Structure 1
Amino acid sequence: MSTSEKKQDREARFSKLYGLVYNDVLRFIQRRAGPDHAEDIAHEAFMAAWRRLDHLPSKHDEARAWLFATARNCMLNNQRGQARQGALAVRVATWTPTFVDAETDMTHLCIDLAAAWQRLRPEDQETLSLAIWEDLPSSQAGQVLGISSAAYRIRLHRARKSLRRELDSSPYPASLAESLMTE
């Protein structure tokens, strides 16, 4: 059997499994995690199935059960990620910069920063947190997100622009908000 035939057999097996099991896995996830993240989690489970297709059980029912277990693990990972983001949001809300202009100004800045952070998309929060709190270089941050370092730098640029827009829309002076963006 040639490599292209193996590839076609692999793709056909996956397509058949996907067609037979996707709706079951999606409903399984929706009942447990709700509709907001269900499709993302289902796709994550099927990505794992694609990567491990050669090791999946050959019987339909066993492969289906394997996918349910994988989907459950993906849900747990998703829940842990959401918990980390919630903890990060709390840390942002309680964070105080190292410079002090005036105590009142700092209070306003913290409130504005926390509010701006909450308005950011979770993807932007994660991108910024890898750079700010985890202090990861773009190559490692990209690896965490499963993207190239160049793609991470683009996301970081966009996330910083989003945060800057949110801070600019606040009543707080832009000069202090800018000093936060460059730290």
Structure 2
Amino acid sequence: MPTAETGPSALSTLPHDVVEAARQGDSGALARVIACAEPEVRRMARSRCRSREDAEDAAQETLIILYRRLGALRTAAALSSWLVRIVGRECLRLARRSLRRAPAEPRPAGARSSEDVWFAQSGDPHLAAALSTLTVHDREVLLLRDILDWSGDDTAAALGLTRSATKSRLHRARRNLRRALATQPEPVSPPIAETGDFSRNR
């Protein structure tokens, strides 16, 4: 489960004057910052993205942004939190891409839709079918909170919402999912074990 991070440990040992030199365009300092950031960026991506492929994509995109836009960073001390936000945003972008993919569009080999993720987690095609009827906003907040198990603060930051607005959206999404489940035809056999309680308020 992603948690609030005070800053990647490897980056915390990087002298601020090196980051500042990289901000000013020193190529040697920039290479040092990127080399130091890479393992931490990959670790954060693995903890936040839904698949290994998404984590790799998110890490690569984050490192590209670091290379191209480090000069826009206001202060050297903000580097760690800046990278945390970028990784989170990239993981969400990739999750949204999966949610918005048209059903008829072929997926790359091994790629899974959000419905596939739900099925794998619950073993319940009834639940997966209900999820597929929800709006993108409902599915993305359920994906972040109930599948990827992001914290409320991380989810709010990724969605660009306040904490209270995120809780409201999650409450509506879970309510809509319960309604969708109620309208889905029950499987005849084999019997499916009940899934988790989506009404829980985290």
TM bucket by the smaller chain?
0.3 to 0.5
Higher relative contact order (CA 8 A, sep 6+): 2
Higher CA-based Rg: 1
**What TM-score comes out, normalization by structure 2 length?**
0.40
